[in-house]
Structure 1
């Protein structure tokens, strides 16, 4: 074997081994990355989002107050003194405590284990005052399994930011709501234009750094214009800023500004 042949063989061996090693590393990283992101998001929900829910309790009490004494559009539910409510982005169920006893709850969430969590986990007793009816694996963009004009109330809390299409989700919300039904929202919004915080929110969203780690959350999402233009007969809202201690202040810094309100069909 000549010197040239030996050189070619050595090059193939070296580069072949390098290529094989690279492929193996990429495969391992890809396989572990999905698991890593899943764990990060789970900790995010159980930690930061739960803390935000606690800071927002007084606001939620005021927001959801109209649910008490609400009369369903469904005659059967009227006779039971109950309402039918659909929540998009249930997460860990922090909003369920504000729903009236006997509420027929439809959940829209990508977590396919949510039903077990609500009905069989150690926290299930906290949700026992409502009647879990259905889990729709979705972000709300398509609710075709729900008939039009059949839901008395729809709720989103820090959830529209992760919807693949806010406009289509809001259209579906309005479609499924019964005449006079109400859409309750509490959504984080970006900071004012030309501030460092806004620049950071835009940067982390456009580079997909933040969405890839935290459940597709877009820090630059501001759904207010879409809510106003969806065709609701009335939209009332206010700006609020959550305040208090959280264990992850950088998350809080990026998503502390909110809009809270009610849209009526």
Structure 2
């Protein structure tokens, strides 16, 4: 199957050649202005399919609220703000993303979710969040983001730095399938397309290995099959405690 997979991937790479050229000459950056509109609509479909999963995951957020204090959540790669609906009432939310063009949709979702307090938006990469002091938040949230960061290990190191002792990192990510499966075959073949459509998405990342090596004192990680298109079914969810 590996030879067939390599051949099919090569064909897809050739078909994506115009996109590669746009990226090389810098014109692909214009896509940064377009993708927020696309992801705003896609995130609504994703939330509909994954509503129960997100509700189950984020129910545990309140466990990390310190007595008598407001729960402070920092969301990495907040995108359009599709997670706000699931946050506990009264939470303070800090948002980061490396694409400032999400702001329009981010503000729309904040207006639709007045049960949380919107603190600020910071344009920054997940690997370099130096505008935040160490141990400054109770919870860090990251959904469908670790597939597209440049360096997963460095991102998780920053997460642990920002979390207060006893705070938690919540994640929900699509991941690579079993290498011998047909799902992995199509993930690998469609990888070039997903990279451009998903703004840098790497569909064959074994993200759980980075989480297991990140140094959390306790890691609650579960593999699951999401009710999505076949090559995007493999997911992981859970949280790690600093």
TM-score under structure 1 length normalisation:
0.74
Matching of residue 201 in structure 1 with residue 187 in structure 2:
yes
1:44/1:214 contact within 8 Å kept: no
Q: Paired residue for 1:232?
A: 216
Which residue of 146, 153, 156 corresponds with 1:170?
156
In the other structure, the counterpart of 2:59 is: 65
Of 213, 233, 237, the residue aligned with 1:256 is 233
User: What is the CA RMSD across the aligned residues, in angstroms?
Assistant: 2.4
Give the greater-gyration-radius structure (CA): 1
Aligned to 2:7: none
Q: How many residues align?
A: 220
SS at 1:161's partner residue?
coil
From 76, 80, 86, the equivalent of 1:92 is 80
Q: Which residue, 74, 78, 103 being the options, matches 2:91? A: 103
Cα deviation code 1:21-52 (max 9, x no counterpart): xxxxx99xx7876546753x345413333212
> SS state of the match for residue 230, structure 1?
coil
Extract unaligned runs of 5+ from structure 1. 1-25, 73-77, 245-251
For 1:31 and 1:164, the matched residues in 2 are separated by: 18
Partner of 1:56: 50
Cα 1:145/1:52, change in 2 over 3 Å: same
Could you tell me which runs of 5 or more consecutive residues in structure 2 were left unpaired when the two chains were aligned. Answer: 1-20
Q: Deviations over 1:143-185 (max 9, x none)?
A: 1111111110011111100111001001111111111101111
Shift of 1:258: 0.4
- TM-score computed with the length of structure 2 as normaliser: 0.81
Aligned residue for 2:4? none
Residue 69 of structure 1, CA deviation: 5.4
Q: Tell me, yes or no, if the aligned pair for 1:37 and 1:212 is still in contact at 8 Å.
A: no
Which residue of structure 1 lines up, in the alignment, with residue 194 of structure 2? Answer: 210
Partner of 2:14: none
Q: CA 1:231–1:128 in 2, change beyond 3 Å: closer, same or farther? A: same
